[in-house]
Amino acid sequence: MENKEVIDYIKTLTRQEQRNMPYEDFVKMIENLSTEEMIEVSKIYGYPVFIRKCMGILQHKIPILQDGAAAIIENQKGEILLQSRKDNDKWGLPGGCQEAGERFQDVVIREIKEETNLDVKEEDLELIDIVSGLSRKNEYPNGDVVINNTALYHITNYSGNLAWDEESKDMKFFSLDNLPENQNDPDLIKVYINKKRK
């Protein structure tokens, strides 16, 4: 197959078919792609999934660094929006992983739209902090271990009607005094609370 045909073929695969493709077939398919074409394929898979796929049998053994962004979305009552995640049954902030070449601002705006259906403008993003280190270590049900480097943003100006995608079971605003115990991102929320108190 020509390189463009390879990319077009990968686009036709379901998410499950992409992930279940045998490693040897995957390598043969992509080994002649240019760097730009590899980036394009990584966006189809999602960058972290693509990197894992390239690791073959080591994919669940090697912790990877994963960059991304998350949002503290605050309503007029001072409550923050949390989503109940399907993959680990915990409450977490809207956010996600950075794609190759994507700016953190673009990550958080994209992830908010995908996960909450809310619209946010770049000028309404307030950077709280870049949160990194072992407090950002996560283990996923499929065996992946990642250490996230997360750009944490605060947002009070947004529009749209709240709705969630297949990653979430529920989504609602919580008072800082009444947060759920089973949190996915307690370190990020703690950073926000500490900054707010200063």
- CA distances 102 to 37, 69, 108, 118, 122, Å, are 16, 11, 10, 20, 14
Q: Give the pLDDT confidence score for residue 36 in this predicted structure.
A: 93
Q: What is the pLDDT of residue 61?
A: 83
Residues 64, 52 contacting (CB under 8 angstroms)? yes
pLDDT at residue number 22: 93
**Which pLDDT score is estimated for 1?**
78
**pLDDT string in tens for the chain (198-residue length):** 799 999 999 999 998 999 899 999 999 999 999 999 999 999 999 888 899 899 888 888 888 899 999 999 999 999 999 999 887 788 999 999 999 889 999 999 999 999 999 999 999 999 999 999 998 898 877 788 889 999 999 999 999 999 987 778 899 999 999 999 999 889 999 999 998 877
Within 8 A by CB and 6+ apart from 101, the residues are 39
The reported pLDDT for the residue numbered 130 is 96
In the chain, what are the domains? 3-58 (no CATH), 64-197 (3.90.79.10)
Contacts of 167 (CB under 8 A, 6+ apart): 83, 85, 86, 87, 115
Q: How many CB atoms lie within 10 A of CB 111?
A: 22
Contact 42, 100 (CB under 8 A): yes
CB 74 within 8 A of CB 96: no
Sign of CA dihedral 68, 74, 75, 76: negative
Angle made by CA atoms 105, 51, 61, in degrees to the nearest 5: 120
Q: How far is CA 124 from the centre of its chain?
A: 20
Whole-number Å distance between alpha carbons of 176 and 55: 41
pLDDT at 87: 76
Residue-level pLDDT at 59 = 81
Place of tokens 């605060």: 154
The SS3 assignment for 120 reads coil
Asked if residues 80 and 176 have their Cβ atoms less than 8 Å apart, the reply is yes
Q: What is the pLDDT of residue 159?
A: 97
